[in-house]
Every structure is written in structure tokens, then in C-alpha cells.
Amino acid sequence: MPDQNAGTSRLFGGVFNRGGAGAGDAAWLQALLDVEAGLARAVERAGRAPSGAGEAVTKAAAARDFSPAEAAEVARSAELTGNPVPGLARVLARRVPAFAAPAVHQGATSQDIMDTAAMLLAREAADAVLADVSAAADAAARLAAAHRGTLMIGRTLLQQAVPVTFGLVAAGWLAGLDEARAGLEAVRATRLAVQFGGAAGTLASLGADGPRVVTLLAEELGLAAPALPWHTQRLRVIDVAAAMARVTAALGKIARDVTLLAQTEVGEVLEGPGPGGPGGTGSSPSRGVTGGPAPGGDRAPRRGGSSAMPNKSNPVAAIAILGCARQVPGLLATLVACAEQEHQRAAGAWHAEWQPFSDVLRLAGSAAAWGVDLLAGLRVDSSRMAANLGASGGLPLAEQVTGLLADALGRPRAHDLVAGAAARAVSSGLPLRDVLLTALESAGADVAGITADQVEAALNPAGYLGASGAFIDAALRAHARDALG
């Protein structure tokens, strides 16, 4: 078979294939064989196959030495039947001793094996994603704690607004990651179930043994046993995908912020060199494809760098996260749309699930792995934050000054005085402080009680942070609680 359609993993390296949450050919093959092996053990335990059959099938399923001819047989059979399971079961049955062959695929329909394999892949992906999201959240928590008092300008609608702290920004990221993790944990714990119903969901070919085999199969594979087969009730598929989409959504928000904060004109954060680079944290080696160290030698490319443009430092991790995250909503929509499945097993809607499901797992895995990299290595430039905050000459504090003057002047007059001063400050380029003090001087007696020191104080952004600290603490407490639980 030509590998012309073999996916994009080799060429694109770890851009979309990081973090060990893959669901490509090899992973599917392994999962399908694991399910067949588990089923053989279950039917043996149910007394429906001779002693030793389960072990024999398990051994054959673990061999991982499919010949090209066998692989071609599976592929060809997939084209005749619409899925790879019949061919795979036939190859597997040939590989076991005759006494064990009847244990292979006993009572199952192809969809039983595929769906259960999908659940195994989802579990594997969830474990990788959960580990990475936890590590990313820990890194965000460290940033939130470390920068509890690091002042910066808050930005709304991409315009400077009022002061915040970088700790508050990081606490918001943290809250998103913790919520995403909690959701995925819940799905992993409660929604991954075996599929086993036979041709039309009755397990008729097992006679009265059906429910017992379901229970044993669930035990063998460590999945839940559902009340009844879910061949055409697809909420489990949606739940996995939605939980992964929540992960990429939380990470996408962070990545968007980092690309914006890392803009040349803003310069408040900078990505680190990545796990292989100098100063890399080393705490979170990406799994899977990314593998080895950066190439040695004196011309090793710098991450995010451009030899032609020495001024550039592209935020590669954030870009990769966005590149992953933006593919997920459309895939989730496909999976939700595919839930409209006919009768006992569907014609097409089920088949359309496989690749989007695999892609969602892989993309969430990659985004999460990049997320650890991004957050664990993030460099914060608090002096640029201070400079950007100061550049507006006090305008972001106008609201607080109005509050100060309102007692003496009444709110309307205070508002008008400050608004006028702000307008003059903008048009003249003078600091608001200077314009305000002049305005107050000419305003006369009734503001005599307001001192220049008070005005200075009201223009101090550190005094206008409201509940920022409390919010950071609340997010950190919630994170610590989650980490324990």
C-alpha cells in the first residue's frame, strides 16, 4: 500500500502530534486487538470458551508483527465491509491455536470492537491530556502567585482600560484549565463504557450469557458496563469530544493572550526556548513524536527565530496551540451531527465519526503538551508591563480620581472636571496628573481640601486593583483543592 495518504505526522513533526494522545493507525490497531483480547478472556471466564483461550488470544493480539500481506488483507476487507474489524478478526483467528479460535470475536459485531477501542483510545488520550493540563495549571498557579502584585494595564476590546495584575491574568488562565481538567476527569471516570451488543444490540448469539459477558468484558478492560448497548445512542462520543474541546478552548484563550502580549509593541511576555532549549525547564518533556534533543551544532535553529529577521521571536507554542484549537469546533460539530443514527446501527453517521474523534484526541493532546511548554517556560517582563501601564499618563485612573473628587464636588461636577482634564491630557499629550492639578487649582475654594498628594494617590494604579488579590487567592485555593481531590 502506498503511504500517500498516511497523514501529516512525519512532515509536520510535533506541531499537531505532541503529547502522546495520538489515535493514528498504530494506536487504533493496538486498541482493536486489545478489545478482541479482552473479549476472549471474558468469554472464557463466562464458560463459553475452553480454558486458556483468553490467554492464547491475548498473546496473539500482543504480537505486533503483522505482515504486509496481513495488513493488506485488513485494508481490503475494510473496503468490502466498510470497516477494518472483520478482516482483523479473521487474521487474528488464524493466528491462534484452533481450540481458541471460537473465542475470537465471539458474539460481537464490528461496531462493538470499534466503539470499545475508541473508548480505550479516549482513556489513553485523557490520561495524557490530564497530566499535561495539570502541569500547565500548576505552571499557571505559579505565575499567579509570583505575579500577585505585578501591575499591568487591563485591556478590553483590545484597548487599554484599567489596571490589573499579571497574577490576575494568570489566575484566569488557571481557572479555565482547572475547569477543563475537572470536566475531562469526570468524563474519564464516568462515561467511558464498553460497547457490546452483537448484530442488533440483543447479544442473541450468546443466548442468556450476554449480560454476564458484558460485565466481564468491562472488568477485563477497566471500562464501565452500560445499561444497554449504545450503538446508536452516541452521547458518550459527544462527551469525550466536548471535554477535549473544553481543554482546547481553555488553552486557546491562553495562547491568544500570549500572542497578543508578546507583540513587539507590547512585549510583556516572551515564550521560553522549549524543552530542548537552553534554560528549558525540563520539567515537562513532551511525549511521543518530539523525542530527541535539538540538533547540535553551531547553526541549530533557534525556536521561533528567523535568521533573516533577527528582530523576530515567534511565539511558536502559542501558535501551535491556536493551530490545534481552531480545528476542534468543526470536528465537534461533526460528531454532534453524527449522533442522528438510524435504528440499531447507522449507515454512514457512525463511519463519519472515526476520523474526527481521532483528530479531536490528537489535537487536544498536542495543544495540552504545547500548553505545558508555554506556561512552564513563559518569561514575564514586568518592566514592560509597568512602562505600558504608565504610557497612558494616568488616564486609566480617571475613574478613581472622579471618586476622590465626588465627595467635595458632587458626582456630576467631579465627572465633568475629570472628563475635561482627560480630554485635555489626550489632546496635549501632557500627563493627566499635571492637567488635573492645574484644573483643580483654577476650580477654587471648594476643592481646597483636596491635596496634590491625594490626587497623586488616586493616580496610583496599585491603589485601584479592587478585588484582584482576593480573586487570585480564590483561584489558587480552588486549584489546591482540586490538586488534593
| 347 belongs to the binding site for a second copy (CB under 8 A) | yes
Regarding 53 and contact with a second copy (CB under 8 A), the answer is no
Q: CA 33, CA 49: separation in Å to the nearest integer?
A: 18
Q: Which of 334, 336, 345 is nearest to 85 (CA)?
A: 345
Contact 440, 449 (CB under 8 A): no
Q: Shortest Cβ distance from residue 445 to a second copy (Å)?
A: 26
Backbone phi and psi for residue 244, each to the nearest 5 degrees, phi listed first: -70, -40
CB of 96 to a second copy, least distance (A): 15
- 454 interacts with a second copy by CB under 8 A: no
Quote the CA–CA distance of 30 and 452 in Å, as a whole number.
74
Give bridge partners of residue 379 from the DSSP assignment: 270
Binding status of residue 342 toward a second copy by CB under 8 A? yes
Query: How near is the Cβ of 55 to a second copy at its closest, in Å?
Result: 22
Rg of the chain over all Cα atoms, to the nearest angstrom = 30
Residues 269-328 that bind a second copy (CB under 8 A): 274, 288-292, 294-295, 301-316, 318-328
Size of the site for a second copy (CB under 8 A): 197
The three cell numbers locating residue 245: 474541546
CB of 428 to a second copy, least distance (A): 14
In the complex with a second copy, the residue whose CB is nearer, 43 or 316, is 316
Contact 433, 422 (CB under 8 A): no
- Please, are residues 231 and 345 in contact by the beta-carbon 8 Å criterion? yes
Task: Tell me if 54 contacts a second copy by CB under 8 A.
Answer: no
Q: Does 155 bind a second copy (CB under 8 A)?
A: yes
Q: Judge whether 313 counts as a catalytic residue.
A: no
DSSP H stretches of helix in 85-209: 85-95, 110-146, 166-190
> Which run of H or E residues covers position 163?
strand 159-165
The minimum distance between CB 335 and a second copy, in angstroms, equals 8
Q: Which of 51, 205, 283, 306 is catalytic?
A: 306
- Please list every residue from 102 through 141 that binds a second copy, using CB under 8 A: 102, 109
Does 407 sit near a second copy (CB under 8 A)? no
- Residue 110: active-site member: no
DSSP 187-250: HHHHT-B----TTTTS-GGGGGGHHHHHHHHHHHHT-BPPSS--TT--HHHHHHHHHHHHHHHH
Nearer to a second copy (CB atom), residue 232 or residue 382: 232
Interface map 157-186 toward a second copy (x if CB under 8 A): xxxxxxxx---xx-xx--xx--xx--x---
What is the H or E stretch that residue 44 is in?
helix 25-45
Q: Please tell me whether residue 142 binds a second copy under the rule CB under 8 A.
A: no
330 near a second copy (CB under 8 A): yes
Please name the residue ranges forming H helices in 429-467.
432-443, 452-458
Which residues within the stretch 258-277 sit at the binding site for a second copy (CB under 8 A)?
Answer: 259-260, 262-266, 274
Is the CB of 42 or the CB of 465 nearer to a second copy?
Answer: 465
Q: Does 242 bind a second copy (CB under 8 A)?
A: yes
In the complex with a second copy, the residue whose CB is nearer, 178 or 448, is 178
Residues recognised as catalytic = 306, 345
